[in-house]
Structure 1
Amino acid sequence: MDQARSTINKIFNGEPHSYTRFNLTQNMEGDNSQVEMKLSSDMEEEVGENGVADYSNRKSNGTPYVAQRFGRTPKNLCFMAATVFLIFIIGYLIGYLVHRKKDSAAGCIAPTVSVEGPIAHETGAAPLMDWDNVTDLLAQKLTTKQFESTFSQFTSNDHRAGSPADDHLANIVFKKFNEYGMKSWNDEHFVKVQDPPASGSNKVVFNGRTYHPKGFLSYSVNGTVTGAVVYAQYGDEADLNQLQDKNNLNIDLSGRVVLVKSGKISFAEKVANAARRNASAVLIFPGSTDGSFGRETQLFGHVHLGSGDPYTPGFPSFNHTQFPPVQSSGLPSIVAQTISINTANDILRQLQGPSSPTQWRDVLRLGGEKDVITVEVNNVLSEKRINNVFGVIKGFVDSDRYVIIGARRDAWGPGFAASTVGTSVLVELARSISHMVKNDGFKPRRSLVFASWSAGEYGNVGATEWLEGYLSSLSMKAFSYIDLDGVVTGQSNFKVAASPLLHTLIGSTIKGVSAINKDANLLSQVAGNWESSVLEPLKLDSAAYPFLAFSGIPSVSFRLTSDELGYQYFGTLLDTREKLNTVTQNSVAQLTRVAAQFAGHIALRLVHDHLLRMDLGRYEKIIRSRVAQINIKVKNVQRMQPQLLPKTLTVQWLISAYGSYGRASRSLTADIQNSDLEDIEMCRSINDRIMAVERNFLSPFVSPRESPFRHVLLGSGPHTLEGLYNHLNAMRNNDPNVDVDAFRDQFALATWTIQGCANSLAGDIWSLDNEI
């Protein structure tokens, strides 16, 4: 009877005009379960100006085939009626025979599926749980009580990368992933890191007094340097430019020992800025004005202007790789060392020389030629074995596409905010989502990979080495990375740094988390005008940065914080639960739950929907702004310095490449709006085009060894649009180091990188609009 009913339905319902290919995929247990499509309730159908489509409520439409095949004449109607009657009789007889056969076997085999009503249309896709149900389930699983328990399991006073304590924590993470029913594995690397001398110490000598700091900066140049000390506040570009301003202080930094305080930018950037101005050494002291910060507190960090093992740049640190000795271009060329607040104050009180700028109120004098200081660094380079730990929750439709959620596990000392909180969020998200899959019927379309990194304190070494080792495997498979490092450091501000493709998703997530979480008061405050108050640039020392700028994977990093300078206890032995309680007014667990919900909502949204929620229009705005700046600057240089840039150099090709990207992104938006969400192959094809955008902004014309952060919009180096703009500024200022030929090469290659991204975004080769 069922077969007859199915046959009749096929005749009257027919098939849609557009051929749709469906694959009936098995679920994770291997059975071909009945699939029911339940569309998300909160996603809108319209596509906004920013090019982001909301897809969940759309349904595929089909025109009845029989209405077009046959006319409505009496003869045809009689023929149809006779055909239907004949099929009904045949089906009835078949059904009768089958029914008798089933009755005879009923005593041996019980029916496995009981179906009442019409059979749901099978598409091969996983049942789409209503989004409100997904977020409610996650909120129920994540509790402050559970976080308190997890904190205690991962709290450790000393778990430096490669140490027995680090391995112990790795084993705990691995066992938990196994307990949750996840497939788990380890990834081992042998990396070179620099530690303080095992015997003796580094030292600083000033006015006859010798200081022996216990803190250190990994990857500093070893040696002894003597020079006149000069104070430079935070050591960023603006501070150093102010010292060198010929119309004001006019201080020559060549050979000077630059004394700066921590904050605003990374240690590596401070040292690199000083090295570019021919300084001989850098001393860094804590920039805290908080009385609770110990006057002898030591700072720990690294000064590699990059990420990963700097002695295997561009390739992984596996023990079986045999490359000739090589060093990262991001290693410093000068000596660098940290000192305590007391040591810094002793030096600052004795400085002579010019008065400090009025806005630098913490010192009186900047230092003169007679304020000579000696810095000696004797760090030890050694090889360490580190372990990254992974667990995966496999998707039910596109299991080979995945979002990665990662957290640093190691720390210089207790590292509670630096690593314990993030690792706890990682483990709790893994537990909660795996329980949702096993017990609550949640079936993610794509996979979630959870990663616990080691050697994060040395410059995201574990994460970067994994990227370098599996870059070809990750290409077009990993579509997003969510960084959990330092997510709770305060309670008065919320900051997010991310790929522009994720900005719209971030905005909706802020609103969604604040709406369902009574603890998310901070998110509620920023939900109205979140972009101006929340967004910040992605920093070089974030683990999300190599994912984005080296691997072309859209990434996000976020933090609940207190002030602009950030959490002052990072890189010290004071990063404890007690200190974090102080800055959060004893609400660490509650804030951690909010952070976990924010990360969880983004991850689940990306693995839940038919099509990836990524905003292609954001990059169009960024490219337009950068191209406009370069166009104005080129014309300015051609007018003021015609011997450098001839009139034949035109920006038209770059403008055309921008136009190609805009047309391609709008074309894809139209394809999304007209897509059939039940067509798995179509959704996969569209998602692949979206995933290719970030990756195709990586310049194929530069070496990942020499310029690892190849992203032409968000990377660093002369190949980026920002690098081109800076080069034009140097031309305008008659910089003697200007290389016009190098600029023209980079200008052409950046143009073709953007054009290549537009071509890939357009899809098939016959869809390209070749206007250049």
Structure 2
Amino acid sequence: MDQARSTIFKIINGEPHSYTRFNLTQNMEGDNSQVEMKLASAVDEEGGENGVGDHLNHSTSRQPYVAQKLGRSPKNLCFLAAATLLIFIIGYLIGYLVHRKKDLSPISPDFDPVEKTFPIIHETGAATPMNWDRVKNLLANKISPSKLESVFREFSSSSHQAGSTGDEVLRTMVVDKFTEYGMKTWTDDHYVKVQIAPAAGSNRIVFKGQTSLPKGFLSYSANGTVTSTVVYAHYGRQNDLMSLAKKLNMSGKVVLVRAGLITFAEKVYNAAKMNASGVLIYADPSDLSMEENTELYGHVHMGSGDPYTPGFPSFNHSQFPPVQSSGLPKILAQTITPGMATKIMRQLGGQSAPAEWGCFNKLGDESDDITLVVNNVLTEKKINNIFGVIQGLVDADRYVVIGAQRDAWGPGFAASTVGTGILLELARSISEMVEYDGFKPRRSIVFASWSAGEYGSVGTTEWLEAHLTTLNMKAFTFINLDSVVSGYGRFKVAASPLLHSLIESTLKEVNSPNKGRTLFSEFGQDNWENNVLEPLKMDNAAYPFLAFSGIPSISFRFMPRNKEYPFFGTMLDTPERLSMATSGQLNQLAVLAAKFAGHMALKLVHDHLLQMDLLKYNDIIRSHVYQINVKVRNIKRMQPQLFSKALTVQWLISAAGAYSRAMEKLSRDIEHSDTDNIEKCRLLNDRIMAVERNFLSPYVSPRDSPYRHILLGSDSYTLAAVSQHLDHLQTNHPDADADLFRYQFGLATWTIQGCANALAGHIWSLGNEI
């Protein structure tokens, strides 16, 4: 056609005497463009006396060049019309012959007729997703005991403490695996301060002339020397210490407690509140079956992350003035072996332990002097978090994170190797599903290998602190794989209430080791929530995701029927001992754990809308509000001088009601939504993701109070703390303060109302009920 146009121009005007100007105007109705062509004649070029073309002089007397040359007589016009028609026919024939010649030419081997004939269609994710049953079956067929056993064997290591050479070797291996699976991979580096064990003999205990030199230690203990009386305090729980305080004065004492039930950090924190000067922790043979010379390792930071950069990431300590977490203890803490503890307890005098402790130990008296020396070494280590991502096709910037701790005090087979192996097998399996089997995830999956988990989820928390403003807007779930298999007999899950429905459906779809039964029928009969669910604790890597970043999180584990796995935090956490603890079913249980985690992750990236139990928090809020209301009414009746008449729980009740209505509206919007409308699904998913994040109190600093979640956090602004403060007011507890309570009460009320407002809709649609 270009040749035809050229022929027409030459016949009518001869060779053009000037340029041809093309004016391209965007076609707003489509992707094509219109072309407006203007020809400037020789007369235009000559222009006026100033050399400017007449087309710029706005002269109306000038006729078009062709009309001037040919005139306007009927004869000439007829001739012109006939000539134009003839030229058009000739041009059409020329164009037809040219294109036919191209069509008949030999086809090049590289020629793709589909690609040349039709426009390339880019995947938008709008197509119907793969059938869910097929997705489940694909995952089930990818994961096998033999493949997991191979990965466990490859990643087993006798020494891989955070920041060590062994940790670095595993880091490189994880990067290579992620790269092999075709994932985009990156590294997140941090320089963190940790305490390591001192030279042999530096930490010691002297009791009645006998010196013991433990090799185990507790990172983040205070350093120094204490000489005092030792007393026995059972597990070191708050009620244990309150019972002990009724029998003797604990101020300045060194407290001997057994491991278990609560974390090492909680034991030391509770003892410090009672003005104790030190804590000794041992593994009691009646709880944990281990040899009498078994050393314990752990940390006592009442928090997570680097305690010397609270609330901000550990990229460079020199950029900030010296600061430390309020969760660092100010008293000494040290672990001792069961043998050392037995020698001490056999010589204790004084009163008998309370009957509810179920033991025959003496509590100790003034003659039971002990000297405790702790000289841990504070050092800076470089740690690496490793990430790989499978990108979604619709909402690639929305992602579920699956993570596992990579480091350990010793072999750490149950603590880290099993979780790392499952993480890598899930990465391989899902990558293959996308690459070869046609699975198209709507959202992305990020796989994370953390370091410094043994020091209190340091790698996890530092990453969250570094990307807080991004993650709580884009990450919608975290699945933790730490310590997922330590035995068989119980299955426990700790999670955000928003994930309870997803947990229940997954339990019903994943088969148990007993043929013909699901995990739900195996562990969740009668009342699955009571049988399976447990609180999410601060020492769990999922906790900072939930309470610090407002991201719904889950952690789960297969564990022994009666007792805890005894070898966490020891040098005895080996493949052989874990195999014994699982009765030889380690690989089969690892497959179940991989299917459980993978099933939830795939469900979250497969469905159009995120599967969240939106109404679950209504029940939790109402329960807290009811308890607070009852306690306030009792105090106003029994101790009216504490509160003025102006204080009313109606504020809190109204806020809870507003939240309930907002959640019900969101649920209705989801129920009546069009799942084929990508944009509306994205908007609804963003509202769902905001639910957990809105429970982070906006009235406190993440640096001073990192776990700001008012329902699942751990500070004075939570609803649980408000309720407990009322208990203190009723009993005249030393910490009771009526004015402080009103402040806490007001902040909690407005946080809930803020959640309701954020969920309700546009700012101009909100009421003003409070």
Render the CA deviation track for 1:171-213: whole Å, top value 9, x for unaligned: 0000000000000011110000001113542011111111100
The aligned residue for residue 183 of structure 2 is: 182
Q: 1:610 to 1:517 in 2, by over 3 A?
A: farther
Match of 2:504 in 1: 507
Corresponding residue number in structure 2 for 1:72: none
Instruction: Name the residue aligned to 1:254.
Output: 251
SS for the counterpart of 1:331 is coil
Is residue 150 of structure 1 aligned with residue 161 of structure 2? no
Q: Secondary structure at the match of 2:114?
A: coil
State how 1:287-436 maps to structure 2 within 5 Å: 287-289=284-286, 293-319=290-316, 322-436=319-433
Rounded to whole Å, the distance in 2 between the matches of 1:322 and 1:634 is 47
Which amino acid is 2:474 matched to?
A: K
Cα deviation for residue 641 of structure 1 reads 2.1
- How big is each residue's C-alpha offset from its partner over 1:81-123, in whole Å with a ceiling of 9 and x where there is no partner? xxxxxxxxxxxxxxx99x98996689454433899xxxx9997
Contact 2:389 2:444 in 1 (8 A): yes
| Contact in 1 for aligned 2:524/2:531 (Cα 8 Å) | no
Alignment-mate amino acid for residue 415 of structure 1: G
Show the counterpart of 1:668: 666
1:603 maps to which of 598, 601, 604: 601
Shift of 1:742: 1.9
Whichever of the two has the greater Rg, that structure is: 2
Q: Deviations over 1:467-525 (max 9, x none)?
A: 00111121310000000000001100000000000001000001111289959765531
Checking the alignment, whether the CA contact within 8 Å between 1:487 and 1:595 is kept in structure 2 is yes
Deviation at 1:322, TM superposition (A): 0.5
Aligned length in residues = 673
Asked if 1 retains the 8 angstrom alpha-carbon contact of 2:507 and 2:519, the reply is no
Q: Is the 8 A contact 1:126 1:443 kept in 2?
A: no
Given the alignment, which residue of 475, 480, 483 partners 2:477?
480
The letter of the residue matching 1:287 is: D
Aligned to 1:220: 221
Secondary structure of the corresponding residue to residue 476 of structure 1: helix
Higher mean alpha-carbon deviation, 359-368 vs 448-457, is at: 359-368
Q: Which structure has the higher relative contact order (CA within 8 Å, separation 6+)?
A: 1
Which residue in 1 is equivalent to 2:35? Answer: none
| Counterpart code for 1:315 | F
Offset, 1:378? 0.4
Deviates more, 1:121-130 or 1:535-544: 121-130
Describe how 1:688-707 pairs up with structure 2 within 5 A.
Answer: 688-707=686-705
Checking the alignment, whether the CA contact within 8 Å between 1:519 and 1:591 is kept in structure 2 is: no
Instruction: Rate the CA distance shift 1:102–1:294 in 2: closer, same or farther, 3 A.
Output: farther
Q: How far apart are 1:287 and its partner, in Å?
A: 2.8
In structure 2, the CA distance between the partners of 1:464 and 1:519, relative to structure 1 (3 Å rule), is farther
Q: Provide the rounded CA distance (Å) in 2 between the counterparts of 1:755 and 1:209.
A: 61
How many angstroms apart in 2 are the aligned matches of 1:101 and 1:660?
Answer: 74
Confirm or deny: 8 A CA contact 1:254 1:279 kept in the other structure: yes
SS of residue in 2 equivalent to 1:616: coil
Q: Which runs of 5+ in 2 are unaligned?
A: 1-29, 32-95
**CA offset at residue 227 of structure 1?**
1.6
Quick check: 1:285–1:344 contact (8 Å CA) kept in 2? yes
Identity level (%): 62
Asked whether the equivalents of residues 493 and 522 of structure 1 are also in contact (C-alpha less than 8 Å), the reply is no
Structure 1 equivalent of residue 113 of structure 2: 111
Q: What residue number does 1:207 align with?
A: 208
Mapped pair 1:140 → 2:137: no
Query: CA 1:101 to 1:166, structure 2 compared with 1: closer, same or farther past 3 Å?
Result: farther
**Alpha-carbon distance, 1:367 to partner:** 1.0
Determine if contact 1:667/1:762 at 8 Å carries over to the other structure: yes
Given the superposition, is the C-alpha separation of residues 238 and 290 from structure 1 closer, same or farther in structure 2, using an over 3 Å criterion? closer
The secondary structure found in structure 1 opposite 2:389 is strand
Contact 1:494 1:523 in 2 (8 A): no
Moved over 4 A (4+): 99-106, 120-124, 515-523
Instruction: Work out whether residues 510 and 518 of structure 2, in 8 Å CA contact, stay in contact via their aligned partners in 1.
Output: no
| Equivalent position amino acid for 1:729 in 2 | D
CA contact (8 A) 1:396 1:445 kept: yes
Superposition deviation, residue 428 in structure 1: 0.4
Superimposed CA distance per residue, residues 394-422 of structure 1 (whole angstroms, 9 cap, x where no aligned partner): 00000000000000000000000000000
In 2, distance between residues paired with 1:206 and 1:352?
Answer: 13
Equivalent position amino acid for 1:585 in 2: S
Q: Distance in 1 between matches of 2:105 and 2:133?
A: 44
Partner residue in 2 for 1:57: none
Closer/same/farther in 2, CA of residues 122 and 266 from structure 1, 3 Å limit: closer
Q: Deviations over 1:634-685 (max 9, x none)?
A: 1112222222222211111111111111101110111111111111110000
- Aligned residue for 1:654? 652
Instruction: Note closer, same or farther for the CA distance 1:320–1:330 as it changes in structure 2 (3 Å cut).
Output: closer
For residues 211 and 516 of structure 1, the distance between their equivalents in structure 2, rounded to whole angstroms, comes to 46
Q: Is the 8 A contact 2:289 2:566 kept in 1?
A: no
Indicate if the aligned counterparts of 1:419 and 1:485 stay in contact, CA closer than 8 A.
yes
Q: How far, CA to CA, are the matches of 1:288 and 1:721 in structure 2?
A: 38
CA distance in 1, matches of 2:219, 2:518: 39
Judge which range, 674-683 or 337-346, deviates more.
674-683
* TM-score normalised by length of structure 2: 0.84
* Residues 1:552 and 2:553 are matched in the alignment: no
- Counterparts of 1:738 and 1:653 in 2: how far apart (Å)? 22
2:225 partner letter:
T
- 5 Å-filtered alignment, 1:468-617, equals 468-514=465-511, 518=515, 523-528=520-525, 529-563=527-561, 565-617=563-615
Are the counterparts in 1 of residues 287 and 563 from structure 2 also a CA contact under 8 Å?
Answer: no
Quote the residue 1:27 is aligned against. Answer: none
Deviations 1:188-247, CA, capped at 9 Å, x for gaps? 1000000111354201111111110000000000011122111111111221122234xx
How far is 1:527 from its partner?
3.8
Aligned equivalents of 2:716 and 2:207: distance in 1? 39
Please tell me whether the aligned partners of residues 354 and 367 of structure 1 are also in contact (alpha carbons under 8 angstroms).
yes
Q: CA deviation at 1:766?
A: 3.4
Which secondary structure does the structure 2 equivalent of 1:514 belong to? coil
In structure 2, give the amino acid aligned to 1:746. Answer: Q
**Alpha carbons of structure 1 residues 271 and 122: separation in structure 2 relative to 1, 3 Å:** closer
Q: In the alignment, what sits opposite 1:752? A: 750
Residues 770 and 290 of structure 1: CA distance in aligned 2, closer, same or farther (over 3 Å): closer
Tell me the secondary structure at the aligned position of residue 206 of structure 2.
strand
**Contact 1:264–1:565 (CA<8 Å) still a contact in 2?**
no
Q: What amino acid is aligned across from residue 464 of structure 2 in structure 1?
A: L
- Cα distance between partner residues in 1 of 2:523 and 2:503: 12
Residues 233 and 239 in structure 1, CA contact (< 8 A), matched pair in contact too: yes
Contact 1:126 1:397 in 2 (8 A): no
CA contact (8 A) 1:123 1:679 kept: no
Structure-1-length-normalised TM-score? 0.84
Residue aligning to 1:263: 260
Shift of 1:320: 7.0
Please tell me whether the aligned partners of residues 353 and 359 of structure 2 are also in contact (alpha carbons under 8 angstroms).
Answer: no
Pairing 1:444–2:441 present: yes
Cα distance in 1 for partners of 2:192, 2:174 equals 21
Distance 1:763 1:731, change over 3 A: same
Indicate the residue corresponding to 1:736 in structure 2.
734
C-alpha deviation, 1:252, in angstroms: 2.0
User: Which amino acid in structure 1 is aligned with residue 371 of structure 2?
Assistant: T
Residues in 1 aligned to 2:512 and 2:192: alpha-carbon distance in whole angstroms: 45
1:286 aligns with 2:308: no
